[in-house]
């Protein structure tokens, strides 16, 4: 989750018409988190930035019991502040990116212990706002940061090699503003569970969807999704296993904040002329969308109102399940490998990190919490094992 204009601009107006359109140095366990340490062979891990120990730390948790149990040698001390993170589908590697110093790689060992790959910094030249890994584990995507007022940025594709190292595969894929005069603020990049397309959100620049051929690692020509006005924006994206894409921001008719669903074909193009399948209102400042592992539920983190909006979904049709209180200024969500729990990360010296049980109807119940950092200038990012 990037520190950018979304925290302010997410509260601005974006109207949607019928046509809308994540090297270890030292390790210790601080008193602000649980003092128990995992030696389990489980791979049900969560890695979160915005550590209570400082901005250059990442906390690891074992979450299989529904509680936040410190992973082996957690928190991990870094030489940079993580901007975004991603775990490979095999759970073998964790990648992190700094907004200024590049991509860092770590192998994930027993109990969630992290070991730097090639001294950690894999690609000093890549400074990104967001990152994602393809479902087959062969490709890493980055959405680059952009200069203030820029009208475009780029997407890069890296091949993930044996041992977790990276090689550039396709670079300089353009992501541009979809409304003339509107600058972009690169926010998120996501890959469909089907592996058939990727999507990026660009704040007031709108969003784009790109076909993706995972056998060759090739990104095709993007299709833009325009905000309706200069004061509107798209900030978060989630994708389910049925190729429905969910976008959040100030996107409802009249400038209301909400979430909409769109269908995407197997060839990575928007269906029905980009007409929204469904739309629902959310809390204030939506910044993150998490789709459950079953694809039956959608959760939206609302930064300003410090809540999570809950929805069931069927064929892209959203039904509200209510709202639950979340950590203060919640900025990131993630579901665990069992699909039983949702992690939420915000800012708070006692309960900035929270874990919720996902009920049989999709509603959330808080199980456990731990401290996080308190400064909203530090990015909130979550990477979960699969």
Position 69 scores a pLDDT of: 97
Q: What does the mean pLDDT of the chain come to?
A: 88
User: Thinking of the domain 22-384, which architecture would CATH place it in?
Assistant: 7 Propeller (2.130)
Position 42 scores a pLDDT of: 66
What are the tens digits of pLDDT across the range 124-180?
777 899 999 999 999 999 999 998 899 999 999 999 999 999 999 999 999 999 998
| Strand ranges across the sheet with 93-98 | 84-87, 93-98, 102-108, 114-123
Q: Which residue has the tokens 């990727």?
A: 198
Query: Tokens for 125?
Result: 């030249």
Average the pLDDT over 274-292 and give the result. Answer: 95
User: Quick one: how far is CA 144 from the chain centroid?
Assistant: 15
Position 29 scores a pLDDT of: 28
Least confident of 34-43, 138-147, 287-296, 330-339: 34-43
What are the tens digits of pLDDT across the range 95-110?
999 988 899 999 999 9
Pairing status of strand 84-87 against strand 93-98: antiparallel
When comparing pLDDT for 121 and 356, which is higher? 356
Mention every residue, 6+ apart, whose C-beta is less than 8 A from residue 61: 45, 46, 47, 48, 68, 69, 70, 71, 74, 112, 343, 353, 370
Given a cut of 60, is residue 358 above it in pLDDT?
A: yes
Contact 334, 358 (CB under 8 A): no
53 Ramachandran zone, left/alpha/beta (phi>0; psi -120 to 50): alpha
Given a cut of 60, is residue 27 above it in pLDDT?
A: no
Query: Tokens for 119?
Result: 């001294």
Position 47 scores a pLDDT of: 98
What residues does each domain of the chain span?
A: 22-384
Q: What is the DSSP letter of 125?
A: T
The DSSP line for 256-294 is --EEEEEEB-TTS-BSGGGB-SEEEE--SSEEEEEE-TT
Position 267 scores a pLDDT of: 95
CA–CA gap between residue 297 and residue 303 (Å, rounded): 19
Nearest to 301 by CA among 374, 235, 242, 360: 235
Write out the E strands in 7-113. 45-48, 57-62, 69-70, 76-77, 84-87, 93-98, 102-108
Using a pLDDT cut of 90, give the percent of the chain over it.
80
Average the pLDDT over 246-269 and give the result. Answer: 92
């Amino acid at each position: 989750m990037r520190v950018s204009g979304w925290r302010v601009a997410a509260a601005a107006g974006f109207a949607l018409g019928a046509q809308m359109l994540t090297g270890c140095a030292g390790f210790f366990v601080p008193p602000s988190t649980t003092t128990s340490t995992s030696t389990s062979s489980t791979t049900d891990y969560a890695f979160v930035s915005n550590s209570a120990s400082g901005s250059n730390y990442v906390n690891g948790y074992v979450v299989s019991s529904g509680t936040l149990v410190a992973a082996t040698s957690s928190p991990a001390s870094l030489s940079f502040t993580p901007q975004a993170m991603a775990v490979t589908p095999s759970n073998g590697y964790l990648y992190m990116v700094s907004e200024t110093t590049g991509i860092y790689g770590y192998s994930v060992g027993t109990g969630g212990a992290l070991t730097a790959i090639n001294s950690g910094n894999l690609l000093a030249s890549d400074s990104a706002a967001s990152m994602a890994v393809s479902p087959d584990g062969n490709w890493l995507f980055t959405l680059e940061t952009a200069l203030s007022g820029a009208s475009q940025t780029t997407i890069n594709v890296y091949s993930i090699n044996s041992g977790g190292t990276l090689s550039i595969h396709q670079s300089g894929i353009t992501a541009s503003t979809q409304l003339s005069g509107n600058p972009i603020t690169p926010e998120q990049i996501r890959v469909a569970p089907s592996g058939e397309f990727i999507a990026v959100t660009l704040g007031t620049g709108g969003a784009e969807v790109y076909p993706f051929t995972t056998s060759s690692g090739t990104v095709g020509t993007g299709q833009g999704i325009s905000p309706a006005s200069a004061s509107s924006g798209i900030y978060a994206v989630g994708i389910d296993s049925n190729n429905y894409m969910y976008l959040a921001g100030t996107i409802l008719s009249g400038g209301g904040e909400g979430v909409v669903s769109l269908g995407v074909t197997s060839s990575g193009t928007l269906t029905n002329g980009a007409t929204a399948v469904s739309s629902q209102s959310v809390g204030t400042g939506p910044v993150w969308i998490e789709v459950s592992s079953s694809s039956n539920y959608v959760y939206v983190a609302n930064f300003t109102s410090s809540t999570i909006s809950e929805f069931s979904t069927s064929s892209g049709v959203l039904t509200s399940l209510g709202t639950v209180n979340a950590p203060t200024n919640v900025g990131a969500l993630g579901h665990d490998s069992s699909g039983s729990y949702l992690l939420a990360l915000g800012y708070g010296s006692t309960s900035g990190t929270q874990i919720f049980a996902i009920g049989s109807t999709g509603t959330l119940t808080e199980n456990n919490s731990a401290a996080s950092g308190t400064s909203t200038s530090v990015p909130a990012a979550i990477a979960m094992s699969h």
